[in-house]
Amino acid sequence: MRVSTNQMQQGAIDSMLKQHTKLARTQQQVATGQKIFKPSEDPVAASRVVNLKDTLASIDQHQANVDAARARITFTEGMLGNVVEGLHRVRELTVQANNDSQNDSTRSFIAAEIEQIQDEILSIANSTDSNNEYVFSGSLSAFKPFVRNEAGDFEYKGDESHREIQISSTRRITVDDPGSDVFLEIKNGNGVFSTFDGMKNKGSGIIEPGYASGDYVSDTYAIIFNKTISTPDGESKFGEVPLSYNVVNSKGVVLAAGIPFESEKEIVFNGVHTSIKGQPEVGDYFVVRPSQHQDLFTTLQKLINALQAKNPEADDKISFHNAINRSLTDLTQSLDNILEIEGNIGARLNTLDRQETINDTYRLHVREILSNVEDLDYAEAVSRLNLELTGLEASQKAFTRVQDISLFNFL
């Protein structure tokens, strides 16, 4: 086999170029801290890098969603906190107005302040976020949720949807509550039944809101005070024997008859527990009926109407006190409903905190894996760089020694 001088020199040059190429790649790795620059260099590792970076981008988006959800939920929590503060003030004013030392003038002043609070709560219910979307409209965030019609009633223009946001690959969280849950779907009375006095009652009886026991039977009942009380000799003599009452259901069936009445003594039937304070007159009656949904604004409006009504007569005062007692009970239900929603909001905020920690831990884990796949081992790379540099220098020195060797020098 013959080896020409040109062939020998070309081989030496090729060897130097290969060494230089390897050295240049190692220098680039050291300069950038990366092991892979093109997918063709390591297709498997390159594919894994892409997947890991996609995972990191997804985690970053979930963390951004957590921040957005926290901002939205915190904003709602602040709005509801203002509502709760307003209702506490209304309750304080209502208790104050329920005192007989108040007169029509002072009650009208109280009613005026409650009207202002009602307007404030209505404004909160129609509040918008930084995107100019209505907070309590459900999914219909472009529509003002609460409006007052010509009859003075309040109408809800939103829907009952709960908006959600993705906070992990497998988890979503509710970020708002529709106005129907917050302000509309509130049971009046004690949440199970409501108590009412008869419109034509003449006595001083004031019925308590009461409570329901486990054997409660849902129905409308009337507590009717007997018009006459017969004595053993058959004569009717009012005041000589205790006043009694009958309990009748919606079908006219008498559940209890001739029960002696005592002021503030508990009246119990079919799981209903209530009492009547004061002294009813014969012919007076009280109604117990299942609780119904009553929006917060209507509750406030009924209270305002009761405060603005004139009460010159004693029997009107009794009717007023019954109306105020109902309003206080309805306010309690409204307040409890919003406090329950605030509790759910607090639970969601805690969930966001926990999920944020989980996402951070997961992101750190993925970054560690990505670093192992993508990042350069500097100790190994520097050692390899020195070795390749030495090899290149050796090949260059060898080339300078042999480049002038030629057979023609010996001819």
- Would you say 279 and 205 are in contact if contact means Cβ atoms under 8 Å apart? yes
- Counting Cα atoms < 13 Å in the Cβ hemisphere of 284 gives 22
Give per-residue pLDDT as tens, 165-179: 999 989 999 998 999
- Would you say 226 and 258 are in contact if contact means Cβ atoms under 8 Å apart? yes
Residue 238 pLDDT? 47
Q: Is the pLDDT of residue 222 over 50?
A: yes
C-alpha 64: how far from chain center = 18
Average pLDDT over residues 198-214: 92
Angle between the 296-308 and 314-374 helix axes, to the nearest 10 degrees? 150
- Can you say whether the dihedral through the CA atoms of 357, 161, 154, 218 is positive or negative? negative
Tokens of 118: 């009602």
How far are the Cα atoms of 33, 102, 284, 321, 390 from residue 108, in angstroms, in the given order?
78, 10, 29, 15, 99
Q: How far apart are CA 323 and CA 98, in angstroms?
A: 10
Q: Which of 19-23, 63-67, 148-152, 360-364 has the lowest mean pLDDT?
A: 19-23
Residue 131 DSSP SS3: coil
How far are the Cα atoms of 36, 242, 246, 281, 305 from residue 286, in angstroms, in the given order?
85, 18, 11, 12, 21
Q: Quick one: pLDDT band at residue 69, thresholds 50, 70, 90?
A: very high
CATH dotted code for 52-187+330-362: 1.20.1330.10
Q: How buried is residue 373: exposed, middle or buried, by Cβ count under 10 Å (0-12/13-18/19+)?
A: middle
Residue 298 pLDDT? 94
Q: Which of 117-121, 167-171, 244-248 has the lowest mean pLDDT?
A: 167-171
- Would you say 173 and 164 are in contact if contact means Cβ atoms under 8 Å apart? yes
Q: Quick one: pLDDT band at residue 6, thresholds 50, 70, 90?
A: low
Beta bridge partners of 275: 266
| Beta carbons within 10 angstroms of residue 352's beta carbon | 21
Q: Quick one: pLDDT band at residue 47, thresholds 50, 70, 90?
A: confident
- Domain borders along the chain are 5-33+376-410, 52-187+330-362, 196-290
Give per-residue pLDDT as tens, 365-393: 888 887 676 655 556 655 665 665 666 56
Q: Quick one: pLDDT band at residue 236, thresholds 50, 70, 90?
A: very low
Which is more confidently placed, 152 or 29?
152
The residues near 381 (Cβ < 8 Å, ≥ 6 apart) are 26, 29, 30
**To which residue do tokens 């709760």 refer?**
84
Average pLDDT over residues 255-284: 94
Q: Quick one: pLDDT band at residue 26, thresholds 50, 70, 90?
A: low
Q: How far apart are CA 38 and CA 33, in angstroms?
A: 14
Report if pTM > 0.85. no
Residue 152 pLDDT? 80
Tokens of 375: 């990042």
**DSSP letter (8 states) at residue 237:** -
Residue 221 DSSP SS3: strand
Residue 151 pLDDT? 81
- Would you say 15 and 22 are in contact if contact means Cβ atoms under 8 Å apart? no
Q: Which of 60, 1, 75, 12 lies closest to 405, judged by CA?
A: 12
Average pLDDT over residues 120-145: 92
Q: Is the pLDDT of residue 409 over 70?
A: no
- Would you say 348 and 174 are in contact if contact means Cβ atoms under 8 Å apart? yes
- Would you say 286 and 221 are in contact if contact means Cβ atoms under 8 Å apart? no
Q: Which of 119-128, 181-190, 238-247, 299-308 has the lowest mean pLDDT?
A: 238-247
**To which residue do tokens 């093109």 refer?**
38
**To which residue do tokens 């609070």 refer?**
117
The pair phi, psi for residue 154, each rounded to 5°, is -100, 135
